[in-house]
Amino acid sequence: MYIIPAIDIISGECVRLSKGDYDTKKVYSKSPVDVAKAYSDLGFKRLHVADLDGARSSAPKNLRILEKMVSATSMDIQYGGGVKTEASLRSVLDAGASRVICGTVAVTSPDLFVGWLEHFGSQRVILGADFRDDFVAVSGWEKQTDLRLDTIVENFYTRGLRQMIATDISKDGMLCGLDYQRYYKLNELFPDLKITISGGISSIYDIERIDRSKIDSVIVGKAIYEGRINIEELSKC
């Protein structure tokens, strides 16, 4: 299982939100690049970067920071936020990301998203499925849809999807633990899908429990920044 530290960016700063609410923004560093370098120096192989400015608009907004992260580290970076056109997807790849996370476009333009899976490959295009109470949310988590999580995954799984990030918005940034059974069910329904869990990680215990399952990877954010998980101990995992 991969442990993937997270960097969320607003206005060029490293921040965290609670339940996806932008009004709860808390700044942890003025330099996301320095934070990325620290993770790389500790031996982490992958990094999750969420462009929260981009998520609320029509295009990625922090690609210069992504370029600097790529230059400063050796990590495999997955980047999401505002990727709604092929031009924006290409711009993220051109900036050096190894994988691009697509959420809103998969809901609003599913055929376009499938085209990206076919053209760019399922190893580079990730479905970002952000949900509350089983229903997917889009546009930086601000708009709730009536589309169920398992329905959208099934729609794309049969058309080539092989990677997804499932984020429980109700738990994101709350340090409250996970609804493990929800993810285990997804894993059973779609055995060839590499599932990354995001939202609610509160301790090393959460990570150890996930590691006993067949889940591919887990994203850890606020638990690191708030000192709930020792970063050096985590890197040894």
Element (H, E) at 111: helix 110-120
CA-to-CA distance for 70 and 38, rounded, in angstroms?
13
Catalytic (active site) residue 130: yes
Residue carrying structure tokens 């398992």: 150
Catalytic (active site) residue 8: yes
| Selected catalytic residue, list 21, 23, 76, 130 | 130
| Selected catalytic residue, list 8, 51, 53, 168 | 8
Picking from 185, 205, 201, the residue whose alpha carbon sits closest to that of residue 193 is: 185
CA-to-CA distance for 234 and 97, rounded, in angstroms?
23
CA-to-CA distance for 47 and 49, rounded, in angstroms?
6
**b/e code 27-58 from CB counts within 10 Å (16+ = b):** ebeeebbebbbebbeeebebbbbbbbbbbbee
Task: Tell me the C-alpha to C-alpha distance, in Å, between residue 233 and each of 73, 198, 221.
Answer: 20, 20, 15
Catalytic positions:
8, 130
